[in-house]
Structure 1
Amino acid sequence: MSRPLPFGSPGTTGRLDLADVMRQVAQGDKEAFSTVYDALAPMVFGIVIKVVRDRAQSEEVAQEVMIDLWRQAARYRPDSASVTTWAATIAHRRAVDRVRSAQASTDREQARAAREHTTAFDEVAERVETRLDSEQVRRCLRSLTELQRQAVTLAYYQGLTYREIAEVLDAPLPTVKTRMRDGLIRLRDCMGVTT
């Protein structure tokens, strides 16, 4: 049943009555199916390749159509359409399904790539923003007095308390608190933070 498709030459039916042959196929006659196969395979491939446009995929879809004709032979109704029309309809539907499936797969891959690209962009943007913020903080820290800069740096970068800062700087506690307050106000103003 899985004979290679004779794609080179068109199938001719001559005086062959394909409707009668399909009735024999419906009863499981493999020789009758061989006749149907030889008569319809070139036409089926022609329809499929016009839709799918890729030879390898078209051959695969055409084989699937021929298998469908074998499996669905009992469903064929001669009063609805000719065997050729019925086979052409199945071939066209299968080809369109393949194209839609391939397009859906491509769309999913593109959407995933776009999400990954967006994530990468977001990470870069976040790093740039963090770097710009850090540069602004350093610039604003340079605008403070030495005691203010030391107090703020010890508090925020080393996590020391007011009392510990006073001990490290060998300065009175009230002076450290005042310098810290004044330094933070200047930092806030420099960075454009509104309260």
Structure 2
Amino acid sequence: MKEAVYIGRNPSSQPDLEELLGGVALGDHDAFAALYDAVAGPVLGVVRAVVRDPAQSEEVAQDVLVEVWRTAPRYRRERGSAVNWVLTLAHQRAVDRVRWAEASAARERRAALLDRSPDYDHVAEEVEAGLEREQVRRCLRTLTEVQRQSVTLAYYGGLTYRQVAEDLALPLGTVKTRLRDGLIRLRDCLGVSG
């Protein structure tokens, strides 16, 4: 009986969407089926124009039609046509989906940045530097006293060869020889290829 009311009323054989929406508001499943058939295509078109992704568009369109079923009692004829009300819901849900997808992608990018291990590990660098310093100290202990003093004054004290010679009261040639020999021994001890 209700089916005849919804389909036979409009001379153009198009169902009266306001009437159908009124039936949906009362929980009429036949009215919802007729409304669904009438608006599903336009709803999908509006959603697809905003969302772009076909699979997501179908999902959003389905959500919109479920929303129409749930919220049909809120429709007010004086505020606009039924088709505009449904398509406005579709547009709003599509925009919500795009915003959600963009926010989700932004969260994933931020999480990925937080999960990245740093390019420079300060702790590992500190440990490595400490080990290298200890190895240099150990190798310095293998030098003769004059070699160790010469290397220490020249490379850690920043003195020139001449200043090292004056500081140790040695001839410049002797300091240069001691430095050369000391550096060769350090290189061999540290395992540095020459």
TM-score by length of 2: 0.62
Task: Indicate the residue corresponding to 1:33 in structure 2.
Answer: 32
- The within-5 A match list for 1:1-195 is 15-117=14-116, 119-123=117-121, 125-144=122-141, 190=156
Q: SS of 1:22's equivalent?
A: helix
Deviation at 1:56, TM superposition (A): 1.0
One-letter code aligned to 1:134: L
What is the CA deviation profile of residues 151-182 of structure 1, one whole-angstrom value per residue up to 9, with x for unaligned ones? xxxxxxxxxxxxxxxxxxxxxxxxxxxxxxxx
**Would you say the 8 A contact 2:46–2:90 is kept in 1?**
yes
One-letter code aligned to 1:43: P
**Would you say the 8 A contact 2:15–2:38 is kept in 1?**
no
Deviation at 1:105, TM superposition (A): 1.6
| Distance across 2 between alignment mates of 1:94 and 1:17 | 24
| Distance across 1 between alignment mates of 2:28 and 2:41 | 21
Deviation at 1:99, TM superposition (A): 1.4
What is the CA deviation profile of residues 74-124 of structure 1, one whole-angstrom value per residue up to 9, with x for unaligned ones? 11001101111111111111111111112222111111110111x34343x
Describe the shift of the 1:107–1:72 C-alpha distance in structure 2 as closer, same or farther (beyond 3 A).
same
Greater Cα offset, 78-87 or 17-26? 17-26
**Would you say the 8 A contact 1:140–1:191 is kept in 2?**
no
Deviation at 1:142, TM superposition (A): 3.2
Structure 1 vs Structure 2 CA RMSD: 3.1
What is the CA deviation profile of residues 19-43 of structure 1, one whole-angstrom value per residue up to 9, with x for unaligned ones? 1221111111111111111111111
Deviation at 1:133, TM superposition (A): 4.4
Over the matched positions of the two proteins, sequence identity in percent amounts to: 40
* Corresponding residue pairs, total: 142
Larger radius of gyration: 2
Q: What are structure 2's unaligned runs of at least 5 residues?
A: 1-11, 159-194
Q: Please list every run of at least 4 consecutive aligned residues from structure 1 whose deviation after the TM superposition is greater than 2 angstroms.
A: 13-17, 119-123, 125-148, 189-192
Greater Cα offset, 52-61 or 98-107? 98-107
| Distance across 2 between alignment mates of 1:19 and 1:66 | 15
TM-score by length of 1: 0.61
| Distance across 2 between alignment mates of 1:144 and 1:122 | 32
